[in-house]
Amino acid sequence: DTAVSQTPKYLVTQMGNDKSIKCEQNLGHDTMYWYKQDSKKFLKIMFSYNNKELIINETVPNRFSPKSPDKAHLNLHINSLELGDSAVYFCASSQREPGLGTFGPGTRLLVL
Amino acid sequence: SQQGEEDPQALSIQEGENATMNCSYKTSINNLQWYRQNSGRGLVHLILIRSNEREKHSGRLRVTLDTSKKSSSLLITASRAADTASYFCATEKGGSEKLVFGKGTKLTVNP
């Protein structure tokens, strides 16, 4: 059973389009995250939700909007995609302590 | 902002040898974590060491933390080909649930 799953695995789209990435965890964790890994492999946190409430919102463009319909899901919607949005986006979840968590397989986004 | 930085950037060893990777950071932290990422796969949490701990073991992994030097090391003993992956350190600052990752060390264990 996949603990943290993301869809789609790959996403190729044109500049200006709107796209969503979905994340689901079946671990019963309270906290979920979105990380961005750029071409240099550096991971940066974007958002963190705890029990459907936003607790971390790093300086990311307003074009990025997370949505958590329930504590098992954290989706990422991106409006007006730009070339610089190309990256691998990782969803993660944890219970109690951040870092003692589980990451999803990543979604590789390529904006043309 | 603080940033964990690993060195070396790449390490190639033979099976059975030990692999040591280092991580440095800039500001005070709550804890430091090491993650592993296999090519094309998600991150897997390996070990967490708190700021008041100096050394921690988990199986073939040994992590040390020197808060005075703001550095940590990850030692993998008796390496196996399956240990081939990228290893990232990540730091958590006090009062924040945010993790800051370094760029990683790419480890290749040759059979």
Question: Can you tell me the distance from the alpha carbon of B23 to that of B89, in angstroms, rounded to the nearest whole number?
Answer: 6
Give the pLDDT confidence score for residue B2 in this predicted structure.
34
Q: What is the mean pLDDT of chain B?
A: 85
A15-27 residues labelled b (16+ CB within 10 A) or e (exposed): eeeebebbbbbee
The single residue listed with the structure tokens 């796209």 is A19
Give the pLDDT confidence score for residue A51 in this predicted structure.
78
Which residues of A are less than 8 Å from B99 in CB distance?
Answer: 43, 45, 98-99
Q: Which chain B residue lies closest to A49 (C-alpha atoms)?
A: B97
Report whether pLDDT(A107) > 50.
Answer: yes
Question: How far, in whole angstroms, is CA A70 from its chain's centroid?
Answer: 15
Rounded to 5 degrees, what are φ and ψ at A85?
Answer: -80, -10
Q: Which chain A residue lies closest to B5 (C-alpha atoms)?
A: A42
Give the pLDDT confidence score for residue A100 in this predicted structure.
44
Question: Can you tell me the distance from the alpha carbon of B3 to that of A104, in angstroms, rounded to the nearest whole number?
Answer: 22
Rounded to 5 degrees, what are φ and ψ at B82?
Answer: -70, -10
Q: Which chain B residue lies closest to A44 (C-alpha atoms)?
A: B100
Residue B53 near chain A (CB below 8 Å): no
Residues 6-65 of A with CB under 8 A from B: 31, 35, 40-45, 48, 55-56, 58
Could you tell me which residue, A38 or B111, shows the higher pLDDT? Answer: B111
Which residues of B are less than 8 Å from A98 in CB distance?
Answer: 92, 97-99
Residue of A20, A48, A88 lying closest to B97 (CA atoms): A48
Q: What is the mean pLDDT of chain A?
A: 85
Could you tell me which residue, A95 or A40, shows the higher pLDDT? Answer: A95
Question: Can you tell me the distance from the alpha carbon of B99 to that of B85, in angstroms, rounded to the nearest whole number?
Answer: 20
Question: Over the stretch A71-91, which tens digit does the pLDDT of each residue have?
Answer: 899 999 999 999 999 998 989
Q: Are A103 and B42 within 8 A, CB to CB?
A: yes
Could you tell me which residue, B103 or A29, shows the higher pLDDT? Answer: A29
A110, A14 contact by CB (below 8 A): no
Tens digit of pLDDT at every position of chain B (111 positions): 335 677 788 999 999 999 999 999 988 888 888 988 766 455 677 888 989 999 999 999 999 999 999 999 999 999 999 999 889 898 877 665 566 777 788 899 999
Give the pLDDT confidence score for residue A98 in this predicted structure.
43
Residues 70-109 of B with CB under 8 A from A: 86, 88, 90, 92, 96-104
Opening angle at CA A103, ends B100 and B90, nearest 5: 20
